[in-house]
Structure 1
Amino acid sequence: MLTIAVIGPTWLKRRIHEAFAMFPNITMHYFETNDISELMPNVVHALRQAHCILFTHRAYEQSVREQRQLPIPTYYVPLKGGCIYEAYFQLVQQQKITTLSVDGMELAYLTQPLTQMNQACTTAAVTYHLTNEAETVKAHLIHCHHLKHGVMTCSHYVAQELQARGITVVLLKPTIEDVVVLIERILLSTDERRQKEHQIVLGKIEVHSQTLLNKSFKSQSLKKYKVDRIVANFADELNGYLLPTTTLQYNFICHRGEFERITEGYKVLPVLRDIFQIEQAIICCGVGFGMTIQAAAAHADIALTQAQQHKTTCAFIVTEQRNVFGPITVDAPVVYSLTNTRINDKQAYQLEKVRAYVQKNERTIFTSNDVALVLQITVRTANRLLTQWVDANYIDIHGVERVNRKGRPRQYYTFVDV
């Protein structure tokens, strides 16, 4: 699994996390750096954990390159025209804008969005990159000449200073789409990625439809023909091969690069939706990765078992490292490892689903009511699961709730590795 270290300010952390949430096959570590002088300690930590480093500003990357040569690839998120729409909308909500003072962006990226919005604004370009303290102070002084106009800046320090003077200012933030495009480019450029491109992918699809089997021979044949065509077209999209087995069971084989292109990084599997539109049935799909056909087939069997246990239309993926992605449905997939031997596969999935819920809500503790809500089970069943997870040393008891009412106090739990 590719590990990327992201170095950027606190105010961009949420947006970067939202972009990386679309790529469950990437592990991301965010190092908060609000000042250029704090870069190097975080870079040292990043070198120990990541395959590459992504800076949220070009100024950060330039500053690091001037100080030392890094042994791993580095990238930065460029500010492009997309962020202008968001920034300009925030400005015009506060006051009428006739002149813009901008830093951190090339003038060419600024002109086109304003032209498309038919906004006749005079722009005062300050400087493209704020790579050091001197340029930041210079940008601040130039912005101060536009007390009655709007300012767009990529520097949090400049924004704070201008706001203290009463100047209308907004921060330029890269859009999620810009970050996603950059992540895709990183995936295609890494050595590890190029090696994985040629891994073998073997998938197994099962359509469980009792109503289809009970229909007349003519109706059954017509429906099966339509499903056969959908799966065959899916195999063609993958530039792979279809291996039909028994009735309403299909195997396909392709390369990993093609599979990730069609599934948009394991987020969607169009063949499930297309079959479901033809026949309202439970469709299970298991996909396995491996360097050999035997390894891929073994992982596909494990993934198919996971999908069958889920009892809904979904797909699971087992990678060459025995990591599981799934379920691939409308919701974002959960990632967990098959190396957990103290609990079964279903409980491992439930545990990671609770972990994802806790992380999404930026919490460190949770209760049995939270577990019951996330897993859609009763509180009694949730308490039984929590007891097993405590015994397996995956979670720990954090404390007990103080209550001023009748009834038993609730226990708070936390993950051991938090």
Structure 2
Amino acid sequence: MIEHHQLPIHQIRIGIYGTSTIVDRIMKVMASFPVFAPVPVVVSEEQEAPELTDRMQGEMEAMLLADPLAQRKLATGEWLPLPVYPVPVNEAGFYRALFAAERQGKLTGGISVDTMPEGVVRQVMQALDLSNVQAAIYAGPEREPGTSAPGERIADFHQAWYDSGACSVALTGIESVARELSKRGIPHERVLPSDQDIQMSLEQAMLSAVSRRSREGQMVVGMIRIDDFAAQALKRNNEHEVQKLKLDIHRMMLDYVESLDGCLSHLGGDEYMFFTTRSVFRRETGGYKAIPLAKAVNKTYGISLSIGIGFGHSASSAGTNARIALSKSKEAGGNACFIIREDRTLIGPLAMAEPERDALSFTDASFIKRAEEAGMASAYLSKLLHQRARFGKYEYKVHELAHLLGITVRSAHRLLQLWSDHDLVEISGIEKVPRGRPRQIFKFSFLE
């Protein structure tokens, strides 16, 4: 008899945040998503959001938000620690609330609505041939300045329309507003997300989590080149010391790659290649900020390294990106590290032997293409990025730029004019000199 064993599912821990009514509803729908390990967080008031999310940090991979007020609070908070997926209320929930009001005889006059876009309300009313029914739609803030209860202003809005006789029922998507309306004796119906709305949010959270995990296990290829090793070898007294230096450097490389849980390969000459995973590399570099190996080699032997790191969905693409990143480091003059991501976004330069002012910067592929179309060679861009990270410099006089790029002053003038025409450079000031014409100062605005 053949036994079938189900493989264990690496579940995604997701917090379900909201009031009891909606959390129970989401939990029922989530039963058909075995990939999730739900952690229900039932709250009585929406203002509990910040405290609870702080407590949940590190415990969850994502959070599902089902209350409109909580969504607004959390979506605008800079401290937000988790990916958040709101559960929207769409047409289906509004249809259901209208039918419920009709069945109970509440739809004798107009309606007042909150948390629904005006366009959706008008579209549904027209589809149900209720265009003649007045619909008052709330579009203001949820709280009046000076009040303490969330949603109090929304409840006042519904009451004003009910007291005027223009509306016979309130349709609200907020539980605290529904409770307040019950206290005031105002007929109302809850507008809740449909099962389809909940499923769509769960699918979005699942796909994002799977994609994130895929990136964590993504292949990383690193290429390391010792800068000007021949000059370092000439400083040794004999060939024996040169060979010992090579062995010492190789041993240091092995120790570093061991910390990355990776493997190292000597490509011959002055180049090495290593393989690791993205999550480990990010951890060991402090979030792509610094390369400890470069600092250690420089401090011990006075040798600088050019390093290129490539991310990719395959070893081949990661290796190609690593080679491109290494060329960027060489173009910057050595003692530099750049990263090329799978989308060809450029990260860097990372901190090497000296502290960087701006250790991490992102330059997307579209900008690199635009710069190249404007006549900015890859080598020029690498040197400018390197100077910006190391010295915080993004303004140059013509002769300074010519010296940095290794070109004539005349060529620098020509390039600056070309880059200015493509909005890469602008004049930021003028330096007066005792003799001769004042010198213009050019600012590379994309480096600010």
TM-score, normalised via structure 1 length: 0.48
Larger Rg: 2
